[in-house]
Amino acid sequence: PDPQAAEAARRRQARLTKPAGSLGELESLAIRLAGLQGRECPRLERCHVSVFAADHGIAASGVSAYPQAVTAQMILNFAAGGAAVSVLARHSGAAFEVINLGTVEPLPPTAGVLDRSLAPGSADFSQGAAMTQDQLEAALAVGAERVESAADAGSDLFIAGEMGIGNTSAASALGAALLGCPPAQLLGRGTGVDAAGLARKEACIRRALELHAEAGDELELLRRLGGFEIAAMSGACLRAGQLGLPLLVDGFIVTAAALLAVRLQPSLARWLFFAHCSAEPGHRLLLEALNARPLLNLDMRLGEGSGAVLAWPLLQSACRLHSEMATFDEAGVSEPPADSDPCRP
């Protein structure tokens, strides 16, 4: 981050043909991005979307309304362009890829799907650790690899999406452990489980939190309670912070992965932007823990990165307004007297 570039951007905002402050959040975003990119006029024109997918052993406990086969089926749907995030990415002009970290149903090699399978899903965290140490490290490395690849391709924004039947349970367990709150405060109905299913989900997560109560640091929590795609996304956040690539955080699952990464490396928080507040009750709590100000609040709860791909044009618009609007001088527009505007520095 470059405070001089941010200051230059702040001065530029005051010269643009509009009342000072009248673009609200869009002004703050442009100034913040100027500081991050180290230039007065930041650019966000090349967005990269990686959807990380994996199965979860916890799904065997009946925590989801959908069968586990859906994870593999949805990977094919992502690649074929039929999923929500695929439709949004196609129209937004973002680069789009799907990464398979391991599904119960085996998948043939498929165009548009990177095979990074670690196992046919993680283990059931209500019985033991979700991952081995090797699997955890491999999953973190997959996330880092995709961020490096996006940065090498000249991307200026990274979006991580996810898919994995059972992963709201894993994210809720992780979130409860990180926030030190009862899991009931975070639990929603995920993909649409009924009341009995919700009670089962809560009991299962409570048992798991007791089982793993002695887990020491955040990485160990991630190994025990996470999942392959969640660990990959934490790895993506960590690498984005190291490389200085802004990352737009999507929904509940991604935010849990991001919070874990921020606990490991607090300085990466400055690279995170937040797309939306979802209808999953736990999401708001995780966002608060990250001091996040999400851009949208449309009651979405789909995941996949869909909320982030929907929101990134707002970030892009903030940059375009900042760069392309005329200044008062350029347009020959009269400014108000300096003392009449309480917002003007």
Compute the distance between CA of residue 133 and CA of residue 16 in angstroms, rounded to an integer: 53
| Site for a copy of itself contains 23 (CB under 8 A) | yes
Q: Looking at beta carbons only, is 138 or 157 nearer to a copy of itself?
A: 157
Q: Which of 7, 10, 66, 95 binds a copy of itself (CB under 8 A)?
A: 66
Check 25, 288, 304, 330 and give the catalytic one. Answer: 304
Q: How far is the CB of 202 from a copy of itself (least distance, A)?
A: 16
Among the listed residues 169, 163, 190, the one whose alpha carbon sits nearest the alpha carbon of residue 306: 163
| Site for a copy of itself contains 342 (CB under 8 A) | yes
Q: Which two tokens stand for residue 24?
A: 């609200």
At 309, the amino acid letter reads V
Q: Looking at beta carbons only, is 281 or 313 nearer to a copy of itself?
A: 313
Rg of the chain over CA atoms, in angstroms? Answer: 21
Count of other CB atoms within 10 angstroms of residue 334: 7
SS3 content of the chain, % helix, strand, coil (to 5): 55, 10, 35
| Site for a copy of itself contains 287 (CB under 8 A) | no
**In the chain, what is the greatest distance between 2 CA atoms, to the nearest angstrom?**
70
Query: What's the order of all strands across the beta sheet hosting 247-249?
Result: 113-115, 95-100, 47-53, 157-163, 247-249, 272-274
Choices 116-124, 263-271, 284-292, 333-341; region in contact with a copy of itself by CB under 8 A: 333-341
| Site for a copy of itself contains 212 (CB under 8 A) | no
Choices 33-41, 76-84, 230-238, 264-272; region in contact with a copy of itself by CB under 8 A: 76-84
Q: Which sign, positive or negative, has the C-alpha torsion 292, 296, 301, 306?
A: negative
Choices 78-86, 143-151, 169-177, 260-268; region in contact with a copy of itself by CB under 8 A: 78-86
Catalytic residue flag (residue 304): yes
Q: Looking at beta carbons only, is 87 or 203 nearer to a copy of itself?
A: 87
Beta strand pairing call for 247-249 and 272-274: parallel
Question: Could you give the angle at the alpha carbon of 197 between the alpha carbons of 216 and 230, nearest 5°?
Answer: 40
Q: Which of 154, 192, 199, 217 binds a copy of itself (CB under 8 A)?
A: 192
Q: Which two tokens stand for residue 6?
A: 């941010």
Q: How far is the CB of 214 from a copy of itself (least distance, A)?
A: 35
Q: Looking at beta carbons only, is 27 or 145 nearer to a copy of itself?
A: 27
| Site for a copy of itself contains 269 (CB under 8 A) | no
| Site for a copy of itself contains 127 (CB under 8 A) | no
Dihedral of CA atoms 234, 288, 94, 114 in degrees, nearest 10, equals 20
Q: Looking at beta carbons only, is 87 or 153 nearer to a copy of itself?
A: 87
| Cβ-contact 117, 103 below 8 angstroms | yes
Active site residues: 304
Chain contacts with a copy of itself (rule: CB under 8 A): 16-26, 65-67, 69-70, 73-74, 76-77, 80-84, 87-88, 91, 189-195, 197, 279, 295-302, 306, 310, 313-314, 317, 320-321, 324-326, 330-337, 339-344
